[in-house]
Amino acid sequence: MDQAEHTGERLFEITSRERGYLTDPENFEDLPFRYRKIGDRSVPFIPLKGTFVFHSGTTPVFSIKRHSRFQKFPEHCHDGIELNYLYAGSCHQIVNGRDIELREGQTLLLSSNTVHTILPLGERDILFNININPEFLISQVLGRLHCNTIVNQLFVESLKTSLTVDDFLLFTSQNNRKLRTYMEYMLDEWESPTPMARDITESLLVLLISELVLEYRQEDVFKGGSPVGAALPILSYLEEHYASCTLDETARVFHLNPTYLSNLLKDKIGLSYREIVQHLRLDVAERLLATTDLTVTEIARQVGYENVTFFYRIFERRCGCKPAEYRRRHE
């Protein structure tokens, strides 16, 4: 039996605390509750602490724990961002008054102060809680993601903003094998910490969040709470069709008036349709210059510019050098 299988088997063992919950599922005496004013009421909140907590100096930055089964976990919130990963079984939570069912392999991301209740888990239900200091998540985790296109950058910025409001994001990520693999490696460190557990777990957390960013781009979740909102599907379309798209054609695809679409992008993104397409084309041009032997003319036409002189001009304006010089610098 390898380490992952060993860890998987150990996860289902019933702890002494869980045996107590089997007879008294509403025993909350051992919970580290404090209280916080949210709206017009006081809500119990749980500080970032526990047995598997990593610190930066004296500041706790993230923690990992397996949620105790058989206990009805009362209404509460956290002072950090909580990532719930359902390793096995199913889980019902009441989040901001809404009934949420979490299935095996799915991930629930809860922002600070999001009020939720976790209903009792069964013997074969395994839920992991990762609590993350919000500043650490934004600066050290999301900040480490390499946003090599304007669209990726906008998705990450949208995710950051979504995590600063009283809300949640549900990722139907049960088919994401990478996400499960990263989580299993993280659980290995939780089960048997190595001397480099902090560095290993932090790197795995970056990989895990990277996968969630990719999931976020494909989920309906960003159409609601995200400040970028309805603009994100348009950005995804432009990323795929940057070389040949036009404003009128894009507007037809989304059944919008061209003027309305242009104003929507300017309002939500802060860039015009033309500026976004130009960013996308030049992102690809930079990559082709650095990684291929295509001529500058071939690259210009491949990314959508028939007027090569115009391509030279806008490339130099953006990069501060001519395409040939850019290529030499990146050889």
- Is 186 inside a domain boundary? yes
> Does residue 226 belong to any structural domain of this protein?
no
State whether residue 202 is helix, strand or coil.
helix
Among residues 157, 187, 220, which one ends one of the domains?
220
Domain enclosing residue 318, as ranges: 231-329
Name the most confidently modeled range: 42-46, 48-52, 206-210, 327-331: 327-331
As given in the structure block, the two tokens for residue 156 are 């990450």
| Tens-digit pLDDT profile for residues 151-201 | 666 666 666 666 655 478 888 888 889 999 998 898 888 888 888 888 898
* 240 inside domain: yes
Instruction: Give the distance from CA 159 to its chain's centroid.
Output: 6
Task: Looking at the structure, tell me whether residues 142 and 246 fall in a common domain.
Answer: no
Q: Is the pLDDT of residue 123 over 90?
A: yes
52, 74: one domain? yes
DSSP letter at 223 equals: G
- Where a domain ends, among 174, 189, 220? 220
Q: What is the pLDDT of residue 30?
A: 65
Clarify whether residues 34 and 171 are in a common domain.
Answer: yes
Cβ 243 vs Cβ 302: under 8 Å: yes
Pair (214, 75) in one structural domain: yes
What is the C-alpha separation between 32 and 234, in angstroms, rounded?
45
Residue 142 is classified by DSSP as G
pTM, 2 dp:
0.70
Q: What is the CATH number of the domain that holds 236?
A: 1.10.10.60
* Tokens 């919130």 -> residue: 77
Residue 225 belongs to some domain of the structure: no
Residue 54 CA to residue 205 CA, distance in Å, equals 12
Provide mean pLDDT across the span 269-283.
Answer: 89
pLDDT, one tens digit per residue, over 37-47 is 877 888 888 87
Q: Residue 132 is inside which H or E element, if any?
A: strand 126-132
Q: Please give the pLDDT value at position 151.
A: 63
Which of 82-96, 99-113, 202-216 bottoms out in mean pLDDT, i.e. has the lowest? 202-216
Query: Which token pair is 194?
Result: 């190595």
Q: What is the mean pLDDT of residues 280-285?
A: 93
Residue with tokens 């104003």: 263
Q: Are 51 and 65 in contact (CB under 8 A)?
A: yes
Q: Are residues 287 and 207 in the same domain?
A: no
pLDDT for 89: 96
Statement to judge: residues 74 and 197 lie in one domain: yes
First to last CA, the chain: 47
For 117, 141, 218, 284, 330, the CA distances from 145, given in Å and listed in that order, are 32, 7, 18, 18, 21
Domains: count for the chain? 2
Q: Establish if 106 belongs to a structural domain.
A: yes
Mark whether 36 and 118 lie in a shared domain.
Answer: yes
Q: Does residue 159 sit in the same domain as residue 245?
A: no
Residue 268 lies in a domain: yes
With respect to residue 166, please indicate whether it lies within any of the assigned structural domains: yes
Do 13 and 87 fall into the same domain?
yes
| Residue type (1 letter), 218 | Q
Same domain flag for 198 and 51: yes
> What's the confidence (pLDDT) of residue 222?
33
For 85-92, what is the mean pLDDT?
95
Strands (E), 143-198: 168-171
pLDDT value of residue 198: 85
Residues counted in the chain: 331
Summarised one tens digit per residue, pLDDT across range 197-220 is 888 988 898 888 888 877 776 654
Give the pLDDT score at 63: 87
Q: Which of 7-21, 116-130, 224-238 has the lowest mean pLDDT?
A: 224-238
What does pLDDT average to over the chain? 83
Lowest mean pLDDT among 2-6, 178-182, 312-316, 318-322: 2-6
CATH at residue 129: 2.60.120.810
Both 283 and 192 in a single domain? no
**Positive or negative torsion for Cα 26, 28, 31, 32:** positive
Which of 185, 220, 255 is the last residue in one of the domains? 220
- pLDDT at residue 243 in the model: 95
Residue 85 lies in a domain: yes
What pLDDT does residue 141 have? 74
Q: Are residues 112 and 261 in the same domain?
A: no
Q: What local confidence, expressed as pLDDT, does residue 228 receive?
A: 52
Residue 223 has pLDDT above 60, yes or no: no
Least confident of 56-70, 87-101, 246-260, 316-330: 56-70
User: Token digits for 126?
Assistant: 């395994």
CA 139 to chain centre: 13
pLDDT of the residue at 94: 93
